[in-house]
Amino acid sequence: MSVLVADGERPREGGPDRREVLVAVGVLVRPDGRFLLTSRPAGKVYAGYWEFPGGKLEPGETVEAALRRELHEELGITIATAHPWKVERVDYPHALVRLNFCKVFDWTGQLQMREGQACAWEGLPVQVRPVLPGTVPVLDWFAAERGHRGATHFAA
């Protein structure tokens, strides 16, 4: 599996032998095809960047269990089925992460931004900026699924 390198000019914390962090990511998709992006809250690495919501797996936790927990903690919703979609490895300066993307089509509860983040229901091209590097491949996957050609995942 290839690795997307984010901010390659910056040093890597922990050096070349650092441990990979497992992350569950929810790609919430409404019936109209729009998907949810949330901003990273103040105080976190890449604060203000837009991403798909989710978080780290706890020891012994499955991707789906972590996603259920994280989306409830961050957004106040309870998801139905998490559909495993794709996996992407991203080498950020602060961490090497394995992002386990799951599509989610059904959930209950109203969105609550419990970490002070913002949210936006987006389509292609996305309007929010800046987008976290690990989010860009997902926009490419959506573009391919939806028959878009060229660099259509960002608004001009």
**pLDDT-based confidence at residue 148 (cuts at 50, 70, 90):** confident
Residue 153 lies in a domain: no
Residue 152 placed within a domain: no
pLDDT at 110: 97
- Our count of domains for the chain comes to 1
130: its two tokens: 């800046």
Single-letter amino acid code for the residue at 3: V
83 occurs within a structural domain: yes
Whether residue 156 lies inside any domain: the answer is no
Among candidates 118, 155, 130, which has minimal Cα distance to 38? 118
85 part of a folded domain = yes
Position 120 in a domain: yes
Residue 151 has pLDDT above 90, yes or no: no
pLDDT tens readout for residues 121-133: 999 999 999 999 9
Residue 84 belongs to domain with CATH number: 3.90.79.10
Residue 155 lies in a domain: no
Q: What does DSSP say about strands 50-51 and 3-5: parallel, antiparallel, or unpaired?
A: unpaired
15 and 148 Cβ atoms separated by less than 8 Å: no
**Averaged pLDDT of the chain:** 94
pTM (2 decimals)?
Answer: 0.94
Question: 88 lies in a domain?
Answer: yes
What are 21-74's pLDDT values in tens digits?
Answer: 999 999 999 999 999 999 999 999 999 999 999 999 999 999 999 999 999 999
Q: Residue 126 corresponds to which tokens in the numbers above?
A: 């996305």
| Domain carrying residue 45 | 3-145
